[in-house]
């Protein structure tokens, strides 16, 4: 009998921290949800479902920042998160797939993708394909660096992976679209096609994904973002044309999750969930119709505050949202313009006013250490958010390959494009004429301290 098994792997990672409530392998779940009705058996192995980290020695390139973190009481050390290589290898041997897919979204974690591919290929001769943001933007370099990886998918993976599976199993003779490999020339599909599909939540172990005591599922209602913030990599994978799923399908997915897996929290990982007012209001109205399932909604990736109005915020509350996460990035209008941000302080103030009125717990995200940003501008942003009486969500700037800002940082000599494992917040790897590492970590600690005080008084 023909082998129709495809194994999709979320590899382990090494860092100072992990966001344990957001380890749901959503990209892989979407791929599985698309492949299964086409006759393939699919298994998802999420190494990160094992959330406890194992302390490992701090790599030399992070020892300076580690000392700084310790001085400010941030992070408890450098860790390996996820199942071991042996466990991954055992899962591969047991399942015996004809094709293996590995997620490679983050450039900083490519080393673990490479190690996983190398370990598998040492013992099992199965074609390996990777996809995700990192794979999309650095395909040629990846194939050169890691011959154990046979194929690299660029962009959304559903159609290319299905075509590749058909090609490898002999059901298709034409080379698949949007795939780099030594086997065939690159065959770009002009359309960034997303065949609407529902993630394969049935393949995941739902006791592993929790928010507090509640089972959590992540999903996405749409793809793409029509904005073009210069630091953001979203468009490279999903383009700038917003596409939303049918609300019927989404409501069915949510009801299914509630009934079959006792899910009580649905987390949207969309980049622009409220972009279309009509679509969003329709969804919120439909969500109110299924309130008997007691689902709590959240959008941890953030909602664009410029798309909100009081009626939307009220309807979010009515539907089951308890939190509102919005991104300001920087308070200064000069920086907002420089980074092409659609959101300004007026949008944030309005959203916070409505959220308070309708009792949504709000977090405002901001970035510390952007090129061109001064220490005063960071502290002004922190104080602006603090004075609104909401939680501050600080993130240290990390350069994302193939973005406008990344190229500018390389040009200005601020970063080296080849230091892949540095492109993460915790590397704090970019000092500018206005900011050194100490300033950045000091500001991060300041934001944390203000949050702690607020939590005590809330």
- Residue numbers of the site for ligand SF4 (CB under 6 A)? 225, 227-229, 232, 234, 271-272, 304, 342
Residues 272, 225: contact at Cβ < 8 Å?
yes
Query: Nearest approach, Cβ of 41 to ligand B12 (angstroms)?
Result: 16
Query: Nearest approach, Cβ of 367 to ligand SF4 (angstroms)?
Result: 10
Q: Which partner, ligand B12, ligand SF4, none, binds residue 399 by CB below 5 to 8 Å per kind?
A: none
**CA terminus-to-terminus distance, the chain:** 62
Nearer to ligand B12, 85 or 233 (CB): 233
Residue 421: phi and psi, rounded to 5, are -70, -5
Rounded to an integer, what distance in angstroms lies between the CA atom of residue 203 and that of residue 219?
14
Residues 6+ apart with CB under 8 A from 171: none
Query: Nearest approach, Cβ of 316 to ligand B12 (angstroms)?
Result: 19
Q: Which partner, ligand SF4, ligand B12, none, binds residue 397 by CB below 5 to 8 Å per kind?
A: none
**Chain position carrying tokens 């000092």:** 431
Query: Nearest approach, Cβ of 139 to ligand SF4 (angstroms)?
Result: 21
Nearer to ligand B12, 149 or 308 (CB): 149
Calculate ∠ Cα 340-420-441, nearest 5°. 65
- Antiparallel, parallel or unpaired: β 361-368 and 243-244: unpaired
Q: Which partner, ligand B12, ligand SF4, none, binds residue 121 by CB below 5 to 8 Å per kind?
A: none
Query: Nearest approach, Cβ of 317 to ligand B12 (angstroms)?
Result: 24
Q: Which partner, ligand B12, ligand SF4, none, binds residue 253 by CB below 5 to 8 Å per kind?
A: none
**Chain position carrying tokens 């007012």:** 277
Rounded to an integer, what distance in angstroms lies between the CA atom of residue 379 and that of residue 55?
33
Rounded-to-10 torsion of CA 256, 104, 228, 370: 120
Nearer to ligand SF4, 272 or 332 (CB): 272
Q: Which partner, ligand B12, ligand SF4, none, binds residue 229 by CB below 5 to 8 Å per kind?
A: ligand SF4
Query: Nearest approach, Cβ of 153 to ligand B12 (angstroms)?
Result: 4
Nearer to ligand SF4, 62 or 231 (CB): 231
Nearer to ligand B12, 34 or 283 (CB): 34
Q: Which partner, ligand B12, ligand SF4, none, binds residue 304 by CB below 5 to 8 Å per kind?
A: ligand SF4
- Antiparallel, parallel or unpaired: β 151-153 and 128-131: parallel
Name the 3-class secondary structure at 112: helix
Supply the DSSP symbol for 76: -
Residues 177, 188: contact at Cβ < 8 Å?
yes
Residues 129, 144: contact at Cβ < 8 Å?
no
Nearer to ligand SF4, 227 or 454 (CB): 227
Q: Which partner, ligand SF4, ligand B12, none, binds residue 367 by CB below 5 to 8 Å per kind?
A: none
Residues that bind ligand B12 (CB under 6 A): 15, 17-19, 22-27, 30-31, 101-103, 105-108, 129-134, 153, 156-158, 161, 220, 232-234, 237, 269, 271, 301, 398, 400-401, 423-425
Nearer to ligand B12, 216 or 316 (CB): 216
Query: Nearest approach, Cβ of 423 to ligand B12 (angstroms)?
Result: 5
* DSSP per-residue codes, 283-296: HHHHHHHTGGG--E
Q: Which partner, ligand B12, ligand SF4, none, binds residue 222 by CB below 5 to 8 Å per kind?
A: none
Judged on CB neighbours under 10 Å (0-12, 13-18, 19+), 22 is: middle
Q: Which partner, ligand SF4, ligand B12, none, binds residue 227 by CB below 5 to 8 Å per kind?
A: ligand SF4
Residue nearest ligand B12, Cβ-based: 131
Nearer to ligand SF4, 304 or 352 (CB): 304
Q: What share of the chain is helix, strand, coil (3-state, %, to 5)?
A: 45, 15, 40
Supply the DSSP symbol for 175: P
Q: Which partner, ligand SF4, ligand B12, none, binds residue 101 by CB below 5 to 8 Å per kind?
A: ligand B12
- Antiparallel, parallel or unpaired: β 79-81 and 53-55: antiparallel
Residues 231, 367: contact at Cβ < 8 Å?
yes
* DSSP per-residue codes, 128-145: EEEESHHHHHHHHHHHHH
Query: Nearest approach, Cβ of 295 to ligand B12 (angstroms)?
Result: 19
Query: Nearest approach, Cβ of 152 to ligand B12 (angstroms)?
Result: 8
Query: Nearest approach, Cβ of 393 to ligand SF4 (angstroms)?
Result: 13
């Amino acid at each position: 009998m023909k082998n129709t098994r495809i194994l999709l792997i979320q590899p382990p990672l090494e860092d100072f921290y992990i966001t344990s409530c957001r380890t749901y392998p959503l990209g892989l779940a979407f791929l599985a949800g698309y492949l299964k009705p086409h006759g393939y058996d699919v298994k998802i192995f999420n190494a990160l479902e094992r959330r406890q980290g194992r302390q490992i020695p701090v790599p030399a390139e992070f020892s300076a920042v580690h000392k700084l973190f310790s001085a400010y009481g941030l992070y408890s050390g450098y860790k390996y998160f996820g199942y071991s290589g042996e466990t991954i290898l055992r899962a591969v041997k047991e399942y015996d797939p004809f094709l293996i897919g590995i997620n490679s979204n983050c450039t900083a974690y490519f080393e673990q993708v490479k190690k996983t591919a190398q370990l598998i290929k040492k013992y099992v001769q199965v074609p390996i394909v990777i996809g995700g943001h990192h794979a999309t933007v650095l395909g040629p370099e990846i194939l050169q660096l890691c011959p154990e990886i046979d194929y690299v998918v660029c962009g959304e993976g559903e159609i290319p992976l299905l075509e590749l599976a058909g090609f490898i199993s002999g059901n298709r003779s034409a080379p698949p679209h949007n795939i780099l490999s030594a086997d065939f020339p690159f065959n770009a599909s002009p359309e960034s096609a997303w065949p609407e599909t529902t993630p394969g939540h049935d393949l995941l172990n739902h006791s592993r994904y929790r928010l507090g005591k509640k089972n959590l599922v992540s999903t996405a209602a749409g793809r793409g973002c029509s904005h073009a913030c210069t630091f953001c990599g979203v468009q490279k994978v999903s383009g700038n044309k917003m596409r939303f799923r049918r609300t019927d399908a989404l409501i069915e997915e949510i009801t299914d999750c509630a009934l079959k897996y006792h899910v009580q929290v649905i987390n949207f990982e969309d980049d622009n969930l409220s972009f279309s007012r009509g679509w969003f209001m329709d969804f919120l109205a439909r969500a109110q119709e299924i309130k008997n399932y007691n689902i709590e909604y959240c959008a941890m990736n953030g909602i664009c505050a410029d798309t909100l109005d009081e009626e939307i915020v009220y309807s979010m509350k009515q539907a089951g949202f308890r939190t509102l996460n919005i991104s300001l990035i920087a308070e200064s209008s000069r920086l907002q313009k420089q980074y092409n941000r659609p959101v300004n302080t007026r949008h944030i103030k309005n959203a916070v006013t409505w959220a308070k009125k309708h009792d949504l717990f709000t977090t405002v995200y901001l970035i510390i250490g952007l090129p061109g940003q001064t220490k005063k501008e960071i502290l002004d942003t922190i104080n602006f958010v603090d004075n609104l009486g909401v939680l501050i969500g600080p993130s240290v700037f990390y350069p994302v390959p193939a973005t406008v800002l990344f190229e500018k940082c390389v040009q200005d000599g601020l970063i080296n494009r080849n230091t892949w494992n540095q492109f993460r917040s915790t590397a704090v790897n970019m000092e500018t004429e206005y900011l050194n590492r100490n300033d950045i970590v000091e500001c991060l600690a300041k934001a944390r301290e203000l949050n702690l005080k607020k939590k005590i008084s809330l």
